[in-house]
Structures are given as structure tokens and as C-alpha cells.
């Protein structure tokens, strides 16, 4: 089955009760995990960028308070979904360790070996986004994770464009990553297109789908156009689950529900329905 991760990003608006709303919502619509981001603006950008950009300065309001982590973790466990988080500074790895089920490394941090090593050494699963990256850069990151002791690596193909038009999604790269690294590979969505998600799952067998979510369009990042709303993504998740339930086990034998109909096939002796044994049974019933 496909593992669905709902990415809250900064749409929590630094409000704990809103964080709980996200957890409840994504649990109710069938997600397997919820993911947050742990960053500090002053440790995410260089001083001159922060000083010279009002837009960056405003993102201070997007930060997730560290004090929220144990409460978020507890609520996720109450709702039986996993809690993942993206660390954007080295110490964040340790701050998250007691609480998260997995780490996510952002595409923008894919070249930062020290952060990759810190996540890998925890022994927890690591999901790595590969937007903007060359295959060689992904190979380096995977190698470092493996050397750091990470046993469970998942790669997410994505296009770092917010939002991403379907024609720029390049889903064939999912196969490239699978054939190269022989690990779990999924799709990190910025398209907000049901067609893209269905294609990623049913044609390219994406084992993980990550998507950005907002509750009602009032989150800090919703205006960028890459966030799903619950009603829309709920339909996708339920439809994907329904489709995957049709796979079966691949064994070509009569299903138990077909057994009655077998007697109503054309008998090879005369080409007429039903089978001779069924004809006799019908006579006896009459």
C-alpha cells in the first residue's frame, strides 16, 4: 500500500491547537503520517539575506516552537499516525530525536553532508527529497546516509517549483531512482493534481506520496498554490486505496465468489449452458 505523508510546512501558524487540528484532519482522511518542519530563520539564511529581505524576516512567524514537539508527538500517537519532521539546523536533529518516527531531509539541504550524517547516525528512517538534484548529488547523499548507519532510506522525486505544472513533474525519474538505488522511492507533490498522484501510484508504483496540506486556506503557505485542502486530497487517498485493493494476490484460480458461476458455463459436450452436472441439479430441484 502507498504511504501517505501530509506536510504541514508552516501552515500551523505557530498555534498548537491548529497543529492538533492538522493531526486530527490527516488522520481522519487516511494519512499514515504528518510532517512538520523545524527551522530558525537566523539559522536558515545568512545574516545579510535576513537583514535585507522583509519577506524572510516575516518567516520568523512561521517557526515551529520546540515546546510543541512533545505535545505533537503525543497527539500523533493518540491518533495512530507517525510523526515526521524536517530539521533545518544541526541541533534540530537532537531536539527531534525523542519525538519523531522519521526524519525528512529537504531538497534544499541535500548538499549539506553534516546534516545528512547527523540524521543517519540516529538510526531512524530518513526520507530524502531530490528536487533540483542531479543523479550524482543524490548518489552522494545516499552513500553518506548508508555510511552513517541509516538502514531505511526513502527517496522522493520532486520538482522544486511551487506549484509544479504536471508537464514539469517528470515522473519517469521515479523509475530512474528505483533502478539506480534499489530502495523505496516516492513522489513529493507540488502539483496539487489528482491525475499526477494517480499516475505516480498506479503507473510508477510510488511507495510514498508526500503532499502539502492546509486546513481551510488560511495557512501561511497556502497562497503559493502548492497546498491541498482536506476534501480534495481525501478523495485521492480513498480512490488510490480502492484501486490498490483490486490488485489481489496474482494467483489465477477461481475466486470463492465465482464458484457458483462455474456451474453455469457452457458444457464442452454440446456448447450449451449450464454444465451437465448443473442441469441435473436443476432437474432435481424441480
Instruction: Report strand pairing: 227-228 vs 102-105.
Output: unpaired
Task: Determine the structural domain holding residue 265 and report its residue range.
Answer: 259-285
The answer to whether 75 and 23 have CB atoms below 8 angstroms apart is yes
SS (H, E, C) 249-263: CCCCCCCHHHHHHHC
Nearest to 170 by CA among 188, 183, 143, 155: 188
The answer to whether 20 and 75 have CB atoms below 8 angstroms apart is yes
pTM over 0.75: yes
10/123 same-domain check: yes
Q: Is residue 266 part of a domain?
A: yes
167/210 same-domain check: yes
285 band by pLDDT with thresholds 50, 70 and 90: confident
Helices (H), the chain: 16-28, 41-44, 47-52, 54-58, 69-78, 90-96, 113-121, 135-147, 172-181, 194-202, 230-244, 259-262, 276-285
Per-residue DSSP letter, 32: S
Q: Is residue 35 part of a domain?
A: yes
Count of domains in the chain?
2
270/148 same-domain check: no
Mean pLDDT, the chain, whole residue set: 97
Which residues are CB-contacts of 251 (< 8 A; sequence separation ≥ 6)? none
195/89 same-domain check: yes
What CATH number did the domain enclosing 8 receive?
A: 3.20.20.70
Q: What is 182-217 written as a DSSP string?
A: -SEEEEEE-S--HHHHHHHHHTT--SEEEEEE-SSS
Q: Is residue 108 part of a domain?
A: yes
Q: Is residue 139 part of a domain?
A: yes
CA–CA–CA angle 245, 248, 253 (5° rounding): 150
- What pLDDT digit, counting tens, does each position of 243-279 carry? 999 999 999 999 999 999 999 999 999 999 999 999 9
Q: Is residue 20 part of a domain?
A: yes
- What pLDDT digit, counting tens, does each position of 211-250 carry? 999 999 999 999 999 999 999 999 999 999 999 999 999 9
The answer to whether 189 and 157 have CB atoms below 8 angstroms apart is no
191/230 same-domain check: yes
135/272 same-domain check: no
Whether 284 has a pLDDT exceeding 90, the answer reads: no
Q: Taking residues 113-126, what's their average pLDDT? A: 98
174/267 same-domain check: no
Burial of 37 (0-12, 13-18, 19+ CB in 10 A): buried
Amino acid at each position: 500500500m502507498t504511504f501517505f505523508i501530509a506536510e504541514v510546512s508552516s501552515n500551523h501558524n505557530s498555534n498548537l491547537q491548529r497543529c492538533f487540528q492538522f493531526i486530527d484532519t490527516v488522520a481522519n482522511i487516511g494519512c499514515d503520517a504528518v510532517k512538520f518542519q523545524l527551522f530558525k530563520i537566523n539559522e536558515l539564511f545568512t545574516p545579510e539575506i535576513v537583514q535585507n529581505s522583509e519577506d524572510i524576516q516575516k518567516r520568523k512567524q512561521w517557526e515551529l516552537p520546540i515546546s510543541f514537539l512533545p505535545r505533537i508527538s503525543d497527539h500523533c500517537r493518540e491518533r495512530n499516525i507517525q510523526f515526521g519532521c524536517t530539521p533545518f539546523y544541526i541541533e534540530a536533529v537532537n531536539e527531534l530525536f525523542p519525538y519523531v518516527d522519521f526524519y525528512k531531509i529537504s531538497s534544499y539541504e541535500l548538499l549539506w553532508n553534516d546534516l545528512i550524517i547527523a540524521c543517519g547516525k540516529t538510526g531512524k528512517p530518513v526520507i530524502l527529497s531530490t528536487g533540483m538534484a542531479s543523479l550524482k548529488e543524490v548518489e552522494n547523499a545516499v552513500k553518506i546516509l548508508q555510511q552513517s548507519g541509516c538502514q531505511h532510506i526513502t527517496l522522493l522525486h520532486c520538482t522544486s517549483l511551487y506549484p509544479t505544472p504536471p508537464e514539469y513533474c517528470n515522473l519517469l525519474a521515479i523509475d530512474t531512482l528505483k533502478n539506480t538505488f534499489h530502495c523505496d522511492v516516492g513522489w513529493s507533490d507540488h502539483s496539487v493534481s489528482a491525475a499526477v498522484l494517480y499516475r505516480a501510484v498506479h503507473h510508477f508504483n510510488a511507495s510514498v506520496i508526500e503532499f502539502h496540506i492546509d486546513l481551510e486556506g488560511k495557512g501561511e503557505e497556502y497562497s503559493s498554490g502548492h497546498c491541498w485542502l482536506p476534501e480534495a486530497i481525501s478523495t485521492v487517498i480513498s480512490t488510490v486505496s480502492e484501486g490498490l485493493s483490486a490488485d489481489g494476490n496474482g494467483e489465477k484460480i477461481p475466486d470463492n465468489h465465482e464458484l457458483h458461476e462455474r456451474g453455469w458455463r457452457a458444457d464442452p459436450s454440446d456448447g450449451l449452458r449450464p454444465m451437465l452436472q448443473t442441469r441435473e441439479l436443476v432437474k432435481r430441484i424441480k
